[in-house]
Structure formats: structure tokens, C-alpha cells
């Protein structure tokens, strides 16, 4: 059979087009999947590491705060002198111990319970634990000789032999705990005072719900992924499969991971190709493992690349050689752009975005890549912000460690001393100061009732009037319906302080401060007016616009604007020699 030149030319065209195209397509397809899979593997590993850092930051606070208990003088004195046989003394000690534990641990996120265990009493929060000394948690703490023990998740009913709880739906069914034996001591001048050897050393137990770990992983790992948190004995601390929690997880591959601290593996589990990313907590020593099917990481990209390669190959066969260069460029350029973008992402630039120039399969591939990159960037950002929030929570917890109990007791002693010496005015000043400190050291800093704010102001005015020898008087003209209204705390103090210290600076007597309050249909309006020396327009302008203004006044103005928006805030009217009027407008 004679083959015409036209047929041979067509066959050669097809050969020249199909072979390079198929070869290039296979190379690009393989490389693209490798790059995408490798990058996704790195991102999942990064998520696991950052989740462990968040956990370590949170649990590290518990470790450091528990160390601070060793030198707590108040707890030392309680346990060194406590009579275990005196029930009244035990109950009184429990109130003090509970308050001390609350100051150390109540502000730490996810802490469920904090207790001190002894053979004769359980101090702190009450749980149906029976005798904690019979539990494995207590035994582990005793064997650790003062070191912190992180006991993995356990069934509360089984641990404390409370069989009647097994059938109930407990909010605290699965817990994990941090325990350590507390050998109290403190430094008295240059002498280290230690607990009497006959005194039983209590065991600190700080417990967390198991779901505090699971929430973190469920919100961050890719879809279709599983996670495990194991201790060194392969006990399941947390898992995406709740039935495994507190059980032992068997598997040779798990033991291989336990021999290392961090890394990734590609393996087959139950016949499925998966990527295993793991990292060990520096605080607890627990191993966090995320298992992600490879198909879920590249499942959307593989069909797109494969389909586009076949379709473009068929199209290239149908066209003449003259269009080969043009069509090959159409094939290779989008893939090159995508590979370049993938390399940028591999170098850590998660802001890389490709322009979608076509509506074909490559356009869809780029759209998928852009969406994937946006999601990866969002996951990294969310984990970074979560880390910052945990650090802020740590700072707030550390700032609140100072217990005001000693300060209030000292003021109380000074008050009774003043009463015994007949110094009634000094006694009243101390009582006012104590009320002011209790008000300003509340843990909640939200809105307060106007009535509470005015009670604090009355204590403040009394102390200032004694200080300035009745230089001024205070008058109130407030609608009764306003007394139960909510408002920011310490709203008036910076302005009345400014009036007393600066407005009345040139006056010996006769100063008057008037506080007014009115409620309209839309807002609450307060005014603080004095008859002091007043301010110039430049001084009023500086309060709102210059850094030299009072920090308290400037912060109060900022608090109102941030909380309620521009329609509300502070206005000032003042004339030299005639006094000043401060207007404060709040939402009703």
C-alpha cells in the first residue's frame, strides 16, 4: 500500500507534537504534584509545630506558677502550723488556700480545677474524687520527688474509683492533670525556713479538660486529616477519634516516631498513602501526630493537571505544525508560572498570587492554587495570632499574681490602730482608701453601675478634701434613673483630679465641683463643672491633640471613642478665671 506524503507528513506532525507533549506533560505533572505535596507536607508540619508551641506557652504558665507556690509564705505558714484534726481550722485554711490557688491559676485559659491533696483534706475546688491518694495521679506525683508530672488523659470515674459516675454524662469525664509535691519554704532575712519534717507535703493538682487540646487541632489541620496526642507510653491524650482517648495506641510506626522529637514521614496505613507530621511538646513531652492522606492534599490538583494535559495534547494533534510553537507556549507558560509561584510559596512567601488570564483548565488550576495559598496563609496567620493571644494571656496572668490580700490586711491593721488611738479622721481615710483599692483591683474591667462609681468618687473626694483642708465642696445633681446605668470605670476621676490639682491651685477656699447627670432619649449626658481658674483655648486644644496632655484624661477620651464610636465622647468648655465644664456623652 502506497502511503502518500500527506499522510506521512500528518503522521510526522502528530509524532513531533505528541511525543514531546506527552513527555513534557508527564514531567510537569509529576513535578507539580511533588512540589504541591512537599509544600503541603511542610505546611502541615508547621501547623503541628505551632500548635505545640501554643500548648507549651499555655501549659508553661502552669509550670511556672506552680514553682512560685514553693516560696509562698502564706501557704507555708498555713501548712506548717495546721492541725489536721481540727475541722474548723481545716475549713478556715481551705478558704485561704482556695483564694491563693485562684490567684495563681484561675486566669489561665482552659484550667478546669486546681487543688491541694493531703491524706486528711482536699483543699481548693471540690470534685467527687473520694480519696485522691488512692489514684495513679497522686502516686505519679509522689514518685516524681517535687518535679512537675503531666499525667495523660484519664477517665475520671475510673481514676478515682467512682463507679456511680460511669453511667452519667459528666462535663469532666476526661481530664489530664499537672501534679507535683509542694515542699514549701521561704527566705526569712538570710535564713531559709522549711516545713517541719513531720508535716505532710501536699500534692498540687491542676486539671484540664481533654477537649482543650482537641479544639486546637480540629480548627487548624487540613480536611480529612486525623490527629493523635500520645505520651511516652503511647497513651492517647487527645484524638480525632474520641473512643481512643485514655487508651493505649499500638503500632510499630508509632514507636519509631517516639524515638524522635519532630519530623515528617510518608507511609501507608491501612493501604492508604498518608503523610505523618509529628512534633514533641517541650513542656509535657507528649507527641502530637497529624495523619493526612496524600490524596486529600493533591486531590483537587491532580485531575485538573491530568485532564488539561490530555485535552491540550489532542488539540495539538489536530493543528498544523505552524501552530506548534504557539500552542506549546500556551501549554508551558501557565505551568511555569505556577511552578514559579510554588517555589515562592516554598520559600515562605504566602502572599504569592497569580493572575487568572484564561478560563480554561489552567485558569481553574491557578484559581485552585490561589485559593489553596490563601487558605495556607490564613491557617499560618490564625496560628500566629493564637500564639500572640496565649502570650498576652500569660502576661495578664503574671500581672495578676500579686495577691492584694496582704495590702488589705495591712490597711485593716492600720485602721484598728487609728481607732484605738482615737484618730477617727485617719480611720475614715483608711477605710475610704481600702474601698478605693478594692474597687480598682477588681478582675473585671467592664462596665460598672453609676452608683458604684459615685461611691468610689465619694471616698476619693473625702481623702482629697482632707489633703487640701476642705478647699472645695462637691455637689451632685443626677437623675435618679441614672444610678443603675452602666458606664466605664473611673470615668470621672481624671477630670475631678485635674480640677482639684490645677483648677483650685490658686484658691485657698471656696472651690466647688458640681457633677450633673441627665438621660435623654438617645444618650446619657454627664457634666463636671468647677469654678476654678479655667483654661485657655490653647490648653483645651492640647488636651485633645498634644502628647503633653494628662495621660488619664487622654486615656479616658480614647476609651470612650473605642468603646462607643465617634458620636460619643468628651467636650470641654473653659474660660480663664471662670472655671471649666467637662461634658461626657455616652450611649443610653
Confidence of residue 399 (pLDDT cuts 50, 70, 90): very low
8 A C-beta contact, residue 216 and residue 222: no
Task: Give the end of a domain, one of 399, 433, 452.
Answer: 399
Judge whether 544 lies within some domain. yes
Confidence of residue 583 (pLDDT cuts 50, 70, 90): very high
Q: Are residues 447 and 581 in the same domain?
A: yes
d(CA 551, CA 270): 65
Q: Are residues 478 and 500 in the same domain?
A: yes
Q: Are residues 294 and 357 in the same domain?
A: no
Closest CA to 93 of 66, 114, 121, 113: 121
8-state DSSP, 108: S
- Candidate ranges 144-158, 456-470, 559-573; pick with highest mean pLDDT: 144-158
Judge whether 122 lies within some domain. yes
Judge whether 389 lies within some domain. yes
pLDDT digits (tens, 9 = 90+) for 337-350: 767 777 776 776 76
Q: Looking at residues 45-67, what average pLDDT do you find? A: 88
Q: Are residues 274 and 324 in the same domain?
A: no
pTM value is 0.48
Range of the domain at 247: 214-298
Task: Give the end of a domain, one of 298, 313, 339.
Answer: 298
d(CA 587, CA 159): 53
Give residue for cell 506552680: 66
Task: Give the end of a domain, one of 202, 235, 263.
Answer: 202
Q: Are residues 529 and 470 in the same domain?
A: yes
Q: What CATH number corresponds to the domain at position 518?
A: 3.30.565.10
Percent of the chain with pLDDT over 90: 13
Judge whether 411 lies within some domain. no
d(CA 357, CA 251): 49
Q: Are residues 29 and 111 in the same domain?
A: no
Q: Are residues 247 and 351 in the same domain?
A: no
Confidence of residue 431 (pLDDT cuts 50, 70, 90): confident
Given a cut of 60, whether residue 425 has pLDDT beyond it is yes
351: Cβ contacts below 8 Å, ≥ 6 apart? 377
Q: Are residues 229 and 161 in the same domain?
A: no
d(CA 450, CA 246): 51
440: Cβ contacts below 8 Å, ≥ 6 apart? 456, 489, 490
Judge whether 437 lies within some domain. no
Judge whether 224 lies within some domain. yes
Q: Looking at residues 13-23, what average pLDDT do you find? A: 69
Judge whether 416 lies within some domain. no
Q: Sheet harboring 523-530: ordered strands across?
A: 472-478, 511-519, 523-530, 579-587, 569-575
Confidence of residue 280 (pLDDT cuts 50, 70, 90): very high
SS3 call for 154: strand
Q: Are residues 475 and 393 in the same domain?
A: no
SS3 call for 116: strand
Q: Are residues 578 and 449 in the same domain?
A: yes
Percent of the chain with pLDDT over 70: 81
Q: Total domain count for the chain?
A: 4
Q: Are residues 571 and 465 in the same domain?
A: yes
SS3 call for 547: coil
Q: What CATH number corresponds to the domain at position 292?
A: 3.30.450.20
Judge whether 363 lies within some domain. yes
pLDDT digits (tens, 9 = 90+) for 516-551: 999 888 889 999 999 989 988 888 888 887 765 567
Q: Are residues 447 and 561 in the same domain?
A: yes
Amino acid at each position: 500500500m502506497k502511503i502518500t506524503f500527506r499522510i506521512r507528513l500528518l503522521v510526522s506532525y502528530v509524532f513531533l507534537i505528541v511525543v514531546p507533549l506527552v513527555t513534557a506533560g508527564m514531567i510537569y505533572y509529576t513535578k507539580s504534584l511533588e512540589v504541591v505535596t512537599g509544600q503541603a507536607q511542610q505546611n502541615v508540619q508547621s501547623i503541628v509545630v505551632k500548635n505545640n508551641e501554643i500548648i507549651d506557652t499555655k501549659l508553661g504558665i502552669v509550670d511556672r506558677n506552680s514553682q512560685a507556690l514553693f516560696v509562698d509564705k502564706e501557704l507555708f505558714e498555713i501548712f506548717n502550723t495546721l492541725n489536721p484534726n481540727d475541722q474548723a481550722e481545716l475549713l478556715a485554711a481551705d478558704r485561704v488556700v482556695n483564694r491563693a490557688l485562684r490567684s495563681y491559676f484561675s486566669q489561665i485559659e482552659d484550667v478546669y480545677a486546681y487543688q491541694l491533696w493531703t491524706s486528711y483534706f482536699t483543699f481548693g475546688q471540690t470534685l467527687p474524687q473520694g480519696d485522691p491518694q488512692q489514684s495513679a495521679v497522686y502516686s505519679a506525683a509522689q514518685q516524681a520527688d517535687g518535679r512537675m508530672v503531666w499525667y495523660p488523659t484519664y477517665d475520671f470515674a475510673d481514676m478515682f474509683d467512682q463507679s456511680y459516675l460511669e453511667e452519667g454524662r459528666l462535663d469532666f469525664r476526661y481530664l489530664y492533670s499537672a501534679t507535683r509535691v509542694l515542699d514549701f519554704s521561704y527566705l526569712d532575712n538570710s535564713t531559709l525556713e522549711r516545713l517541719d519534717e513531720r508535716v505532710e507535703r501536699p500534692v498540687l493538682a491542676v486539671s484540664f479538660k481533654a477537649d482543650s487540646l482537641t479544639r486546637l487541632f480540629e480548627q487548624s489541620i487540613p480536611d480529612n486529616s486525623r490527629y493523635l496526642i500520645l505520651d511516652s507510653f503511647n497513651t492517647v491524650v487527645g484524638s480525632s477519634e474520641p473512643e481512643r482517648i485514655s487508651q493505649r495506641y499500638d503500632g510499630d510506626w508509632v514507636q519509631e516516631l517516639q524515638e524522635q522529637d519532630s519530623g515528617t514521614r510518608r507511609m501507608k496505613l491501612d493501604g492508604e498513602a498518608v503523610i505523618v507530621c509529628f512534633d514533641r511538646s517541650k513542656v509535657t513531652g507528649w507527641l502530637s501526630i497529624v495523619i493526612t492522606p496524600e490524596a486529600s492534599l493533591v486531590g483537587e490538583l491532580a485531575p485538573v493537571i491530568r485532564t488539561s494535559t490530555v485535552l491540550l495534547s489532542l488539540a495539538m494533534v489536530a493543528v498544523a505544525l505552524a501552530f506548534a510553537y504557539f500552542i506549546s507556549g500556551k501549554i508551558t507558560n501557565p505551568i511555569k508560572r505556577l511552578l514559579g509561584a510554588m517555589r515562592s510559596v516554598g520559600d515562605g512567601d504566602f502572599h504569592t498570587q497569580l493572575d487568572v488570564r484564561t478560563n480554561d483548565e489552567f485558569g481553574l488550576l491557578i484559581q485552585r492554587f490561589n485559593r489553596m495559598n490563601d487558605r495556607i496563609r490564613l491557617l499560618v496567620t490564625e496560628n500566629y495570632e493564637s500564639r500572640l493571644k496565649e502570650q498576652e494571656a500569660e502576661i495578664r496572668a503574671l500581672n495578676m499574681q500579686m495577691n492584694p490580700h496582704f495590702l488589705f490586711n495591712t490597711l485593716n491593721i492600720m485602721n484598728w490602730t487609728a481607732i484605738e488611738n482615737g484618730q477617727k479622721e485617719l480611720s475614715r481615710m483608711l477605710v475610704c482608701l481600702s474601698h478605693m483599692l478594692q474597687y480598682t483591683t477588681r478582675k473585671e474591667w467592664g462596665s460598672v453601675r453609676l452608683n458604684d462609681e459615685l461611691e468610689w468618687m465619694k471616698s476619693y473626694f473625702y481623702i482629697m478634701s482632707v489633703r487640701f483642708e476642705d478647699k472645695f465642696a462637691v455637689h451632685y445633681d443626677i437623675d435618679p434613673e441614672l444610678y443603675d446605668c452602666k458606664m466605664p470605670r473611673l470615668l470621672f476621676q481624671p477630670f475631678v483630679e485635674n480640677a482639684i490639682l490645677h483648677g483650685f491651685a490658686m484658691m485657698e477656699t471656696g472651690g466647688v465641683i458640681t457633677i450633673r447627670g441627665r438621660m435623654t432619649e438617645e444618650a446619657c449626658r454627664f457634666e463636671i463643672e468647677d469654678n476654678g481658674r479655667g483654661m485657655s483655648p490653647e490648653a483645651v486644644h492640647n488636651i485633645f491633640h498634644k502628647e503633653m496632655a494628662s495621660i488619664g484624661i487622654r486615656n479616658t477620651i480614647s476609651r470612650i471613642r473605642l468603646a462607643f464610636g465617634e458620636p460619643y465622647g468628651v467636650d470641654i468648655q473653659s474660660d480663664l478665671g471662670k472655671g471649666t465644664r467637662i461634658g461626657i456623652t455616652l450611649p443610653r
